[in-house]
Amino acid sequence: MCRNIRILFNFDPPATDAEIRDASLQFVRKISGFRQPSKANEQSFSAAVDEITHVSTNLLRSLGTNAQPRTREQEIAKAKARSATRFTARVSA
């Protein structure tokens, strides 16, 4: 899984259209192997991003849960803690 694709479900406030589109772009980049497509592939690349954005938006809006919504601040704090643990282990090894 691409590290830049983040969980977008069950956030308060909900994921924005821009966040969903960014994740879709990262997904298409990952599976196509292109960071920036050539002119010949640009239309197909853009169409794929649009379609995946649409499908992802529909998915996120249709999902339900009883769990408490996440906050972005909590998720950022968790990521920083994981990073500190991971990089501290490398330095001491």
Q: How many CB atoms lie within 10 A of CB 15?
A: 20
- Cis before 14 (ω within 30): no
Determine the angle formed by the axes of helices 17-32 and 42-62, rounding to 10 degrees.
130
Along the 93 residues of the chain, how does pLDDT read in single tens digits? 456 677 889 888 899 999 999 999 999 999 999 999 999 999 999 999 999 999 999 999 999 999 898 888 888 898 899 888 888 866 655
Q: Are 52 and 24 in contact (CB under 8 A)?
A: yes
- The pLDDT, as a whole number, for residue 1 is 47
Q: Report pTM.
A: 0.76
- The pLDDT, as a whole number, for residue 7 is 84
